[in-house]
């Protein structure tokens, strides 16, 4: 057999240099391709920041105009309060009668005449612009009556509906004046524009991908970066807490992507001596005659474990070198960076998750409902099973399970396949207390959390 002749040293060095050159060329090519991509990402982020800044400026200006319009309407409301109400209405009626006589019944002419009449008695320009179309409509309606209604009476009737003699100013404003004000429509549009720009900016910044802790996310978990988040307004059990929306500071943490499954929980039980494992047996499992470990319901290995009280859930978390999430952490993870009403957005959407409206009556495989995923990538926070947290109803966090005979209620979060009124119970803001010891519901499970480094 002929053997290949050994390569001379000089040829070997030439080939090695060629390989190095090819590697260098490839590296430079990759860098050359990456630089434009990075530049494009920076450009898109800068553009998103500019759009957000511009939209915020427009919203602030619109808010100021709305406030001025609000103040003008409130000043007019004060002028039309008793005992001066009759005199003010008569003065306005006389001005309207004079203006309507020259305007005829043309709508645009009547609006101009009404605006002039309002200005004649000292009503602000913003309030006059809002009221003129309404008064013009009242004048036209009065002219169509048989016999025709005098313009002063038409004007008085219209203003009495908008500025009732009795009641609070806030009732008059919320009862129709705010919707009448052009400044309110402008502000609503500006606010929606800013929210859309904010959402686009957050998508460009990608806080999770750039967070230092993102490089070492534990298997099966997602990262929730620390920072300021909006929570609420709370639903369900609101006794003892501020039900209104509030801003909280949360430190970075990891959270299980899915609820703890039967298979994972069985592994925990199998690691303990039987005597120590027995107190943590799920009420939803069955026992065989030989007294071995409880049997899982058939085909439910990847379903969430249920029928465990808080004591068992905390024992499992400790075994995993983890903990249960606090109530605030749970809501942040479910609502996402935009504080959504539901993990997927602001509107309730039947079929997104395993809830009572699916008529299953049973848990589902974790992650089976791909629509039930939050902005941070955690699944089944709206439905499938409800979940334990480590928080008491007052906000205090339990660091260890309550002792025997100690009655402590703990907040449960999220809806389940048995939740009634899914529009409320599937909300990221829904909360309800349950006794920590002995609560072994068939639709109540849990997931674990871990602290994450900030930098």
CATH number at residue 426: 3.90.1580.10
Express each pLDDT in 56-97 by its tens digit.
Answer: 999 999 999 898 888 888 888 777 777 777 777 777 777 777
CB 100 within 8 A of CB 109: no
Q: Residues 116, 250: one domain?
A: no
Domain boundary (162, 181, 199) is at: 162
Residue 166 Cα distances to 72, 92, 174, 181, 188, angstroms: 19, 20, 15, 21, 29
Q: Residues 243, 355: one domain?
A: yes
Express each pLDDT in 386-413 by its tens digit.
Answer: 999 999 998 899 999 888 878 789 999 9
CA torsion, ordered 129, 130, 133, 136, to nearest 10 deg: -80
Q: Residues 250, 377: one domain?
A: yes
What is the rounded distance in angstroms from the CA atom of residue 361 to the CA atom of residue 418? 6
Give pLDDT, residue 289. Answer: 61
Q: Residues 355, 215: one domain?
A: yes
Asked if the model's pLDDT at residue 2 lies above 50, the reply is: no
pLDDT: which is higher, 11 or 450: 450
Q: Residues 249, 322: one domain?
A: yes
Q: Residues 226, 131: one domain?
A: no
DSSP states of 230-261 as a string?
A: EE---EE--TTS--S-EEEEE--EEEESSPPB
Q: Residue 85's domain spans which residues? A: 81-162
Domain assignment present for 18: no
Q: Residues 229, 356: one domain?
A: yes
Give pLDDT, residue 209. Answer: 63
Asked if the model's pLDDT at residue 210 lies above 70, the reply is: no
For residue 430, the SS3 value is strand
Using the 8-state DSSP alphabet, how is residue 148 labeled?
Answer: P
Structural domain count of the chain: 2
Give pLDDT, residue 131. Answer: 81
Which of 101-110, 164-173, 274-283, 301-310 shows the lowest per-residue confidence on average (mean pLDDT)?
A: 101-110
What is the rounded distance in angstroms from the CA atom of residue 399 to the CA atom of residue 391? 9
Q: Residues 110, 226: one domain?
A: no
Asked if the model's pLDDT at residue 378 lies above 70, the reply is: yes
pLDDT: which is higher, 45 or 253: 253
Domain boundary (162, 196, 228) is at: 162
143 DSSP β-pair partners: none
Q: Residues 218, 140: one domain?
A: no
Using the 8-state DSSP alphabet, how is residue 399 labeled?
Answer: S
Express each pLDDT in 128-158 by its tens digit.
Answer: 788 888 887 777 777 777 787 777 777 777 7
Express each pLDDT in 182-195 by its tens digit.
Answer: 888 899 999 999 98
pTM of the model: 0.57
Mean pLDDT estimate for the chain = 82
Q: Residues 232, 309: one domain?
A: yes
Contacts of 96 (CB under 8 A, 6+ apart): 113, 114, 117, 135, 139, 151, 152, 154, 155
Indicate the burial class of 22 (C-beta count within 10 angstroms; 0-12, 13-18, 19 or more).
Answer: exposed
Q: Residues 304, 450: one domain?
A: yes
Domain assignment present for 389: yes
Q: Residues 221, 147: one domain?
A: no
């Amino acid at each position: 057999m002929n053997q290949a002749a050994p390569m001379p040293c000089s040829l070997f060095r030439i080939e090695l240099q060629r390989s190095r050159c090819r590697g260098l060329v490839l590296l430079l090519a990759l860098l050359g391709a990456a630089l434009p991509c990075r530049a494009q990402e920076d450009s898109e982020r800068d553009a998103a920041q500019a759009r957000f800044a511009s939209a915020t400026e427009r919203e602030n200006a619109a808010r100021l105009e709305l406030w001025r319009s609000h103040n003008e309407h409130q000043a007019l409301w004060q002028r039309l309060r008793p005992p001066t109400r009759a005199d003010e209405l008569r003065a306005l009626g006389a001005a309207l009668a004079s203006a309507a006589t020259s305007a005829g019944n043309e709508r645009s002419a009547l609006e101009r005449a009404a605006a002039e009449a309002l200005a004649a008695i000292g009503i602000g320009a913003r309030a006059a612009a809002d009221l003129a179309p309404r008064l013009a409509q009242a004048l036209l309606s009065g002219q169509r009556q048989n016999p025709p209604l005098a313009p002063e009476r038409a004007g008085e009737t219209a203003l009495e509906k908008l500025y009732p003699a009795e009641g609070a100013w806030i009732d008059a404003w919320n009862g129709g004046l705010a919707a009448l004000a052009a400044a309110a429509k402008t502000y609503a549009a500006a606010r929606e524009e800013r929210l859309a720009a904010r959402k686009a900016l957050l998508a460009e910044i990608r806080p999770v991908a750039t967070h230092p802790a993102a490089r070492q996310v534990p298997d099966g978990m997602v990262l929730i970066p620390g920072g300021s988040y909006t929570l609420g307004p709370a639903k369900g059990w609101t006794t003892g807490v501020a039900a209104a929306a509030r801003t909280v500071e949360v430190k970075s943490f990891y959270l299980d992507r899915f609820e703890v499954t039967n298979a994972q929980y069985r592994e925990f039980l199998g690691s303990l001596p039987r005597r120590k494992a027995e107190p943590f047996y799920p009420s939803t499992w069955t026992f065989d005659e030989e007294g071995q470990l409880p049997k899982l319901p058939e085909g439910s290995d990847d379903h969430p474990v249920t029928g465990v009280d808080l004591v068992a859930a905390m024992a499992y978390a400790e075994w995993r070198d983890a903990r249960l999430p606090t109530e605030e952490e749970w809501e942040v993870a479910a609502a996402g960076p935009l504080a959504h009403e539901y993990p997927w957005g602001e509107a309730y959407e039947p079929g997104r998750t395993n809830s009572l409206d699916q008529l299953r009556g049973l848990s589902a495989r974790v992650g089976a409902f791909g629509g039930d995923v939050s902005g941070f990538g955690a699944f089944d926070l709206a439905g499938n099973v409800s979940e334990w947290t480590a928080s008491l109803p007052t906000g205090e966090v339990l660091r260890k399970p309550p002792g025997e005979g100690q009655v402590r209620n703990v907040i449960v979060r999220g809806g389940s396949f048995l939740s009634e009124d899914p529009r409320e119970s599937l909300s990221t803001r829904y909360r309800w207390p349950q006794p920590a010891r002995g609560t072994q519901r068939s639709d109540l499970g849990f997931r674990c959390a871990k602290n994450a480094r900030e930098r």
